[in-house]
Amino acid sequence: MEKALDAANSFVLDPKYHDLLGIVKGVRNGAVYGAKIRFPHALVMTFLFRSGSVKDKLRLVLKATREHAKNLATFVFIYKTALYFLKSTNPGKKSRDTDALVAGCIGGYYVFGRGGKSSVNQQIVLYVFSRVAMGLAKLTVKKEVIPVSSAKGKDKAWTLFATVCWGLVMYLFRTDPDVLQLSMKNSMDYLYLDSNRWTSAKTLLWHNK
């Protein structure tokens, strides 16, 4: 048994297999992370806002958890496999920055683009988009596209990002609310429309309706 364990350790620590084993662990980590992130979120949202029996709600929670875990694991597999292929075709056998862009597009296309516009996929992509937008705002400061003139200059990226986001979402909610994601529209209905309606002190302060 000890010899088998030593042999396994020698194999997984061999630099020759590092990239391939990195794909295996990436799939593992994608599945675990997806499950850890989605399960508590789905549990709370389903039991708060979904109707049906406890059994039906638990089925929805497990379905969402499985989809999130599967999609992240699949994306990591495609992304790291594409990186490995691109690196192996490079004459210098080294990864290039553009390889990450290409591999990310391939994974995004097959997993989230062609994978269907489910609520789980939408939430993941929108989460990524918001982080990309924030990153690009910070990049404008880092590259000094937006001049930094004080110690608080780095906050300009956040100021710009927050200002544009809230201005645009409130404009869309006012003019074309149907283009917003349903969960966000429902939240905004509750905050900005339902707060204009009441029939008594009870529905003003205690119950929404």
Domain assignment present for 98: yes
Domain assignment present for 15: yes
pLDDT tens by residue, 45-79:
899 888 899 999 999 999 999 999 999 999 999 99
CB proximity list for 105: less than 8 A, separation 6 or greater: none
pLDDT at 96 exceeding the cut of 90: no
pLDDT at 196 exceeding the cut of 70: yes
Total number of domains constituting the chain:
1
Domain assignment present for 27: yes
Domain assignment present for 3: yes
What's the rounded Cα separation, in Å, for the pair 101 and 105?
6
Domain assignment present for 161: no
Domain assignment present for 123: no
> Residue 103: which domain range?
1-116
pLDDT in the model for residue 150: 53
Amino acid found at 207: H
CB of 124 closer than 8 Å to CB of 68: yes
| CA count, 13 A, side-chain hemisphere, 89 | 7
201: exposed, middle or buried (Cβ count in 10 Å: 0-12, 13-18, 19+): exposed
User: Model pTM?
Assistant: 0.78
pLDDT at 153 exceeding the cut of 60: no
pLDDT tens by residue, 17-46:
888 999 999 999 999 999 999 999 999 989
Domain assignment present for 84: yes
- Going by pLDDT thresholds of 50, 70 and 90, the confidence category of residue 91 is confident
pLDDT cut 70: percent of the chain above it = 95
User: Mean pLDDT of all residues in the chain?
Assistant: 87
| Mean pLDDT of the 136-148 span | 78
Domain assignment present for 64: yes
